[in-house]
Amino acid sequence: MGRLASRASKSSIEYVDDHVWKSMVSLQAPGPARQVAQPPLPRPGPKGKGKHRAFNQLVRESPLPSPTRKRTPLPLPPLTDAGRRMAITEFLIHCNINEYDSTSHSLIDGHCIKHWCFFRGQSADDLMRIGFPRGLATQIYNGVLELEVTMTSVTPTDSASAGPTAGPSRF
């Protein structure tokens, strides 16, 4: 049942039952002097089978994708002097990216990337998430992997904790 407004008041809202609402909707208009509030939609029952039925909880038909967790970045070895001197344009040439490629330059400038070390520790998927096309992201990722071999320095403590090296045993 609903709350009925006084007949003298034309600005009040009248709340009606479902069967009255359906009959008014079938007539296409509730009348010129009335404002009618639609009753809330009936609550859907539990969907699907399983443990959620016992608790009378609704099961989502299309669940939202779960958020991606931030990865804790691994400590990266420091760059050598040559690695620090390498400019972004040299890095792009190393990655076989045309130095006049407007897509790569606009993305790099748009993200305010000033040095190639920004790409260290980034996967191709990480780069695609910020707007780099797959091909460009893969080329940059592969270029970083190649430069990591020659442009990083390994400190003596890193080499001692790295474990045994390949080669003949001393024993």
Instruction: Output the pLDDT for position 75.
Output: 85
Q: DSSP of 137-159, one letter per residue?
A: HHHHHHHHHHHHHHSB---HHHH
Summarize pLDDT for 20-33 with one digit per residue, the tens: 767 666 666 555 55
Strand stretches in the chain, DSSP E? 13-15, 35-37
| Tokens found for residue 97 | 């990216």
* Residue 47 near residue 58 (C-beta atoms within 8 A): yes
* Cα gap 90→103, rounded to integer Å: 16
The whole model's pTM is what? 0.50
Average pLDDT taken over every residue of the chain: 74
Over pLDDT 90: what percentage of the chain? Answer: 41
Instruction: Output the pLDDT for position 169.
Output: 42
Q: Which fold has domain 81-154?
A: DNA polymerase; domain 1 (1.10.150)
* Residue 132 near residue 122 (C-beta atoms within 8 A): no
Summarize pLDDT for 113-142 with one digit per residue, the tens: 999 999 999 999 999 999 999 999 999 999
Instruction: Output the pLDDT for position 108.
Output: 94
| Tokens found for residue 72 | 């804790």
Task: Give the count of beta carbons closer than 10 Å to the beta carbon of residue 163.
Answer: 6
Summarize pLDDT for 22-74 with one digit per residue, the tens: 766 666 655 555 555 665 666 555 555 555 555 555 555 556 666 666 666 67
Domain ranges of the chain: 12-39, 81-154
Element (H, E) at 35: strand 35-37
